């Protein structure tokens, strides 16, 4: 098949360089292997050192159930995380429940995402005729690995790293599908888009970005297909064939949508689960910029570098005749980077849905822009007429790029260290469990206010000797994440011979006074009649022990 924006493999003219093939086999493999290895080393360092936090405890508790119990849970709540729980059920059966085992899938997904980012950067640079495509890909992959936010979620037993991997692979498949036009690549695109949506529905925002990429490539392809003048054949594709690529993209998106429709329906019914989100303001935008750049100090340097990459990626013209209708780097990267967070922030002004974790899959796009910008900078200096000898140009060409890489690396040392500190997580559930193990008595009662039973799920053994008299049905029996609580009459009946009570919460004493649930108000009344024996703090968690006066 031939057409504007859809180039078959057979369209490569004799003597023309193939857009994907390269004679430098070893170097091309190193471009992929080095970022992946860097991800395993950088993000794998101290993988299991930090305690699990509450979201990871949810993952452990839900995934540790039987398959039937997981499906029963998803019918009532948390359906959007169901695929991850089922996946982690297999991981737990195979590797166990240690922090390292629970986080290993995220680490491996990050390594694959780094490798795919490098492959995509190299491919886009080749298609655009940019210098040193291998360098562009290598730098993009390493930039991706270096960002502390990536390390944070590579060391997290949640689905965000897996979603980033699937979106990155889908973006690579999209570019290959546009230039090859074969169903094999479109099928891979549909499969990875569906996989990303199964792990997090918000990842489907990238489909809008991809739609912009396909549309721009279609328009560029149509122009390339027009005759250059009277009697000239142009690129040989008639305008009636050009929309084929768009139709195949639509078919792939519809196929993925059909697969995801049941999950989307359940997710909409359970949308109350994100009611904790608030409307984002200027602070959320600043946090997004700083997290994507790696630190506050890097926002401006990374922005300048990304703008350079954007300018090069937008103005580049392929020197390969076979890929005249292929997407320019900017048409792939910019929509991917900008549209999902902008859409989510805009919608959140009406209905809050934004959290920075939900747009983590846009981080590879920024890494790609930085890779393009650095490679372009080296090329510009290497061709400067003021430098007389080729040797001098070759040496000096690397200096600014190396200096920028070193600067970024130095400025990221402190954030990389900070992301591995216990204070980088809202909870330290291992410390909570240690406090209970050291100070609790078998007859002690525990109150979780407000509904903070999850704080006992990361390391549950010490908490089992406490009497949870407010619990009506366990999480498993009630097919919920935290169980259900008794009514007020039952609680008062159980409040006999109470001598010591643990209050486990993650809110301030002032916020406790705002609790309105009658059962929890009764629990607080019991505590207020007792004296404080001890209090322990673990990040946002507060464990207080009370006894009779």
Tens digit of each residue's pLDDT (9 = 90 or more) over 236-256 = 443 333 455 788 999 999 999
Q: Which residues of the chain have pLDDT under 70?
A: 1-24, 223-244, 314-325, 379, 381-398
Q: Are residues 290 and 296 in contact, defined by beta-carbon separation less than 8 angstroms?
A: yes
Region at 466 (left for phi over 0; alpha for psi -120 to 50; beta for the rest): beta
First vs last Cα of the chain: how many Å apart?
A: 85
Q: Tell me the pLDDT tens digit for each residue of 461-499.
A: 999 999 999 999 999 999 999 999 999 999 999 988 889
Determine the Cα angle at 206 with ends 201 and 211, to 5°. Answer: 130
Per-residue pLDDT at 353: 94
Cβ of 350: how many Cβ atoms within 10 Å? Answer: 8
User: Would you call 340 exposed, middle or buried from its count of C-beta atoms within 10 A (0-12, 13-18, 19+)?
Assistant: buried
Per-residue pLDDT at 315: 67
Per-residue pLDDT at 531: 95
Q: Are residues 193 and 170 in contact, defined by beta-carbon separation less than 8 angstroms?
A: yes
Cβ of 23: how many Cβ atoms within 10 Å? Answer: 7
The Cα–Cα gap between 349 and 9 comes to 46
Per-residue pLDDT at 515: 87
Whether the full predicted model's pTM is greater than 0.85, yes or no, is yes
Region at 15 (left for phi over 0; alpha for psi -120 to 50; beta for the rest): left
Per-residue pLDDT at 22: 61
SS (H, E, C) 320-354: CHHHCCCCCHHHHHHHHHHHHHHHHHHHHCCCCCC
Per-residue pLDDT at 26: 81
What are the residue ranges of helices labelled H in 181-204? 183-199
């Amino acid at each position: 098949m031939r057409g504007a924006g859809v180039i078959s493999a057979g369209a490569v003219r004799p003597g023309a360089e193939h857009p994907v093939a390269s004679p430098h086999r070893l170097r091309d493999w190193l471009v992929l292997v080095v970022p992946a290895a860097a991800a395993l080393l950088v993000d794998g360092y101290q993988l299991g050192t930090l305690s699990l936090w509450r979201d990871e405890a949810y993952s452990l508790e839900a995934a540790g159930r039987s398959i039937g119990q997981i499906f029963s849970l998803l019918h009532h709540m948390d359906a959007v995380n169901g695929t991850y729980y089922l996946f982690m059920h297999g991981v737990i059966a195979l590797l166990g429940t240690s922090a390292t085992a629970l986080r290993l899938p995220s680490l491996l997904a990050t390594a694959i995402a780094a490798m795919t980012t490098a492959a995509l950067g190299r491919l886009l640079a080749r298609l655009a005729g940019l210098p040193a495509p291998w360098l562009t890909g290598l730098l993009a992959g390493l930039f991706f690995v270096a960002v502390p936010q990536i390390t944070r979620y590579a060391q997290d037993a949640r689905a965000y790293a897996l979603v980033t991997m699937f979106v990155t692979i889908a973006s690579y498949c999209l570019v290959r599908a546009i230039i090859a036009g074969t169903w094999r690549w479109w099928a891979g695109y549909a499969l990875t888009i569906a996989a990303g949506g199964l792990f997090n529905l918000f990842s489907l925002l990238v489909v809008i970005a991809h739609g912009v990429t396909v549309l721009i490539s279609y328009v560029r392809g149509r122009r390339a297909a027009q005759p250059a003048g009277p009697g000239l054949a142009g690129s040989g594709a008639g305008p009636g064939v050009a929309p084929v690529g768009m139709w195949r993209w639509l078919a792939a998106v519809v196929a993925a949508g059909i697969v995801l429709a049941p999950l989307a329906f359940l997710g909409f019914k359970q949308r109350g689960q994100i009611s904790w989100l608030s409307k984002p303001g200027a602070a959320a935008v600043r946090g997004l910029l700083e997290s994507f750049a790696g630190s506050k100090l890097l926002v401006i340097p990374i922005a300048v570098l990304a703008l350079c990459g954007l300018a090069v990626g937008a103005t580049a013209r392929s020197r390969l005749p076979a890929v005249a209708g292929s997407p320019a780097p900017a048409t792939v990267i910019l929509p991917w980077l900008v549209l999902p967070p902008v859409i989510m922030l805009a919608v959140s002004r009406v209905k809050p849905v934004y959290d920075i974790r939900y747009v983590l899959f846009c981080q590879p796009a920024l890494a790609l822009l930085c890779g393009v910008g650095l490679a372009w900078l080296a090329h510009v200096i290497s061709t400067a007429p003021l430098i007389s000898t080729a040797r001098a140009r070759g040496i000096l060409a690397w200096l600014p790029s190396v200096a920028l890489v070193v600067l970024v690396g130095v400025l990221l040392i402190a954030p990389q260290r900070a992301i591995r500190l216990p204070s980088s997580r809202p909870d330290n559930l291992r410390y909570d469990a240690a406090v209970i193990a050291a100070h609790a008595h078998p007859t002690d009662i525990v109150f979780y206010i407000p509904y903070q039973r999850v704080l006992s799920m990361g390391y549950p053994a010490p908490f089992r000797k406490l009497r949870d008299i407010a619990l009506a049905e366990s999480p498993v029996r009630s097919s919920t994440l935290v169980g259900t609580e008794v009514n007020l009459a039952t609680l008062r009946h159980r409040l006999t011979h109470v001598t010591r009570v643990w209050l486990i919460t993650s809110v301030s004493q002032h916020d406790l006074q705002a609790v309105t649930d009658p059962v929890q108000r009764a629990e607080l009344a019991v505590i207020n009649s007792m004296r404080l024996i001890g209090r322990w703090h673990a990040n946002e968690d507060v464990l207080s022990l009370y006894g009779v006066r």
